[in-house]
Amino acid sequence: MNELETLRNEIDQIDSELLPLFLKRMECSKKVAEYKRKNNLPVLDKSREKQILDHKASMIPLDKASFVRDFFSEIMAISRKAQRQLLSDGNLENSLFEGFDQCSLKENPTVVFQGVAGANSETALMKIFGDDTKRINVMTFAETLDALQEGQADYAVLPFENSSTGSISGVFDLLENRELYIVSEMDVSISHCLVAPKSATLDSIREVYSHEQGYLQCKEFFKNYPKMKFSAYHNTALAAKYVAGLGDTSVAAIADKRTAKIYGLRVLAENISTTQNNVTRFVVIAKRGIVNENCNKISVLLTLQNESGALCQILSEFKNSGLNLVKIESRPRHDRNFEYMFFIDFEGNLLDDNVQTVISAIQENTTQLKILGNYHAVSYPSERL
């Protein structure tokens, strides 16, 4: 037996002595969880854990203190996870879930979208709810959510994120302070075209109207036409309607073929997006959250405590739970300068004990936690809710 094998055998022996002690500690932790349940106490007591870690670290030489602190921190994290699992009962009684109902989307709803006929939001609406869905339209994202909150519509459909230009920040900001919930999403392919009055040509165009996002998604195309000046408009469909009304052969809009047909415009150039696989994620918003067995994605908004390792602690909860975190994005807080909140998407269902355990753990390490929605993420247009 060589030296390495001898050392490994020694470690195995030490581990065999540690294991029964660890299991004994976990049994004691279980009793602590029962006590906390009876006395309505939180799982995490940060001040006590800090005292314990400081005491353990002070008992040994300084050069080994960090290893001891890490060792006991991991043991405490495992104990907290076990306690939360014991305290979780798989229901929605937690105050975090007060805005949720165990149901499905309403049949034959009225849906509000921003823009006019032909808007990409209307296209998404039709793919999600069907072509014959009763719908109303408004001019801005804020008015869309106003109409929903005022009871004019059952749902609102809004763009949330584009595959090439990123998040639609205005929608994120609107959801921050409203008691509204994401109840579904769908990825919709966006095929931008340059459209203009019937007698227009590429050489005649001097001004192009579009929503800023639409123009940004086509910037490479317009590098070939430096004489075309960009003018921002409310959205691409409204831009097409405006251009149709002008009847000016020097003016064009960015829109899709369906919109061009609606407003009697000619397609001067097809598929002008910089990225040919141009996809926008649309979300369905409601006044109440929905959770059922088909929900597979969760969105949350959180604000971290201003202390070292706060974000790392949140991320470790996902790692330790096995839940797949699919998006994290920081946004500036509007009430405090140079402080940030985080939007996080992860896979899961609020009815699962493991998910509730993780959410409880996250809540203990944040100053604010808002569940924006638990929903069925639809990635293919052929899949109907």
Catalytic residue list:
280, 282
Three-class DSSP labels, the chain = CCHHHHHHHHHHHHHHHHHHHHHHHHHHHHHHHHHHHHCCCCCCCHHHHHHHHHHHHHCCCHHHHHHHHHHHHHHHHHHHHHHHHHHCCCCCCCHHHCCEECCCCCCCCEEEEECCCCCHHHHHHHHHHCCCCEEEEECCHHHHHHHHHCCCCCEEEEEEEECCCEECHHHHHHHHCCCCEEEEEEEEECCCEEEECCCCCHHHCCEEEECHHHHHCCHHHHCCCCCCEEEECCCHHHHHHHHHHHCCCCEEEEECHHHHHHCCCEEEECCCCCCCCCEEEEEEEECCEECCCCCCEEEEEEEECCCCCHHHHHHHHHHHHCCCEEEEEEEECCCCCCCEEEEEEEECCCCCHHHHHHHHHHHHCEEEEEEEEEEEEECCCCCCC
